[in-house]
Amino acid sequence: MNEIIRLNKGNYSGEVQNLKEYAGFITSKTTYVDNYNTEFHYHENPHLSFILQGGNYEHKKSQKSVKAIGDVLFYHSGELHKTIPTNETTKNLNLEIDINFLKDNFVSETELKNVVEYSLNSRLFMLKVHSELQLNDTITETAIQALLLNFVKSNRTENYKTIKWIVELTNILNDEWNINHSLSELSQRLGIHPVTISKNFNKYFGCTYGDYVRKLRIDRSLTLIKNTNHSLTEIAFLCGFADQSHFIRAFKNYTGTNPKYFQKL
């Protein structure tokens, strides 16, 4: 049996680039062109990894999966896994978080894992981190700390799984994300007064109705930008925006960058 490898902070199975260490976290990119580690290993700290190009074959214990462009992965500290690139273009953006930073801010690794895996904000969050790194100024460190804590907070909403109309509304918005629904239409479909929807939306979704729908559309646009040859005008239309300018404005607001820049990452 091969020896299990411990990777100390800032180290990954691929080639590490653009490593920057701040108070409470480390950012870097990894590529897999040459000399990458294909053995099981674990990391000193928990981290998030956002696939910018290519993809990964992920092995965790007995679980195997293929991850592609746009996926955000979470790894616990000490979690055994191995990462094998699907091709030599694979590039990941990593956010490694010091365990003590999480403890000091009353965030558990499990809570962080849940928000990464179940929140629609994961990809938008990592793109905002990337945008802050590009600015690289005197407030970048504090800005990313604030982004991280706000990202976790966005998942601290009241449990709605036992409330039938909230579950139905969630399904409608996620299944019909590019359709412009009116409040009266949603009210009729749900059998709930419009005031009830408006009054309770933030409590259960962690944001306003407009923010939720726009985030959904921007999140869905990421796959179209990376994996299709559609123009930005076509993507804007497919995602339910009135025109390209509205799409670009919303994209920059929720990711900190513009669609063309993301396309080239």
Q: Single out the residue in 153, 179, 210 at which a domain terminates.
A: 153
Give yes or no for residue 146 having a pLDDT over 60. Answer: yes
End-of-domain residue from the set 94, 120, 153: 153
Question: Is 155 a residue whose pLDDT tops 80?
Answer: no
End of a domain among 106, 124, 153?
A: 153
Interval 44-94: pLDDT, tens: 999 999 999 999 999 988 789 999 999 999 999 999 999 999 988 999 999
For residue 50, give the CATH number of its domain.
2.60.120.10
User: Is the pLDDT at 34 greater than 90, yes or no?
Assistant: no
Q: Beta 5-7 vs 41-43: how paired, if at all?
A: parallel
Res. 36 pLDDT band, cuts 50 70 90:
confident
What is the mean pLDDT of the segment spanning 149-166?
82
Higher-pLDDT residue of 36 and 138 is 138
Q: What is the pLDDT of residue 192?
A: 94
The pLDDT, as a whole number, for residue 183 is: 94
Query: Using the 8-state DSSP alphabet, how is residue 22 labeled?
Result: E
User: Quick check: 1 pLDDT over 60?
Assistant: no
Q: Is the pLDDT of residue 194 over 70?
A: yes
Q: How far apart are CA 105 and CA 148, in angstroms?
A: 11
In sequence order, what DSSP letters do the residues of 150-212 get, joined into one string? HHHHTT-----TT-HHHHHHHHHHHHTTTS---HHHHHHHHT--HHHHHHHHHHHHSS-HHHH
Q: What percent of the chain has pLDDT over 90?
A: 82
- Terminal-residue alpha carbon distance, the chain: 38
Give residue 222's region: left, alpha or beta (phi > 0; psi -120 to 50).
alpha
* 204 pLDDT more than 90: no
pLDDT confidence tier of residue 37, bands split at 50, 70 and 90: confident
Distance CA 157, CA 29 (A): 32
Name the H helices within 13-121.
Answer: 99-104, 109-118
pLDDT tops 90 at residue 33: no
Question: Do 136 and 208 belong together in one domain?
Answer: no
Residue of higher predicted confidence among 234 and 206:
234
Q: Domain check: are 138 and 214 in the same one? A: no
- The pLDDT value recorded for residue 2 is 62
Q: How many domains does the chain have?
A: 2
Both 45 and 148 in a single domain?
Answer: yes
Whether residue 168 lies inside any domain: the answer is: yes
pLDDT at 169 over 90: yes
Residues 126 and 248 in one domain: no
Question: pTM score, two decimals?
Answer: 0.90
Say what the alpha-carbon torsion angle 149, 131, 222, 202 is, to the nearest 10 degrees.
30
Q: Are residues 43 and 142 in the same domain?
A: yes
Q: Are 144 and 195 in a shared domain?
A: no
158 part of a folded domain: no
Domain at 259, CATH number: 1.10.10.60
Domain containing 215 equals 164-264
Mean pLDDT of the chain: 92
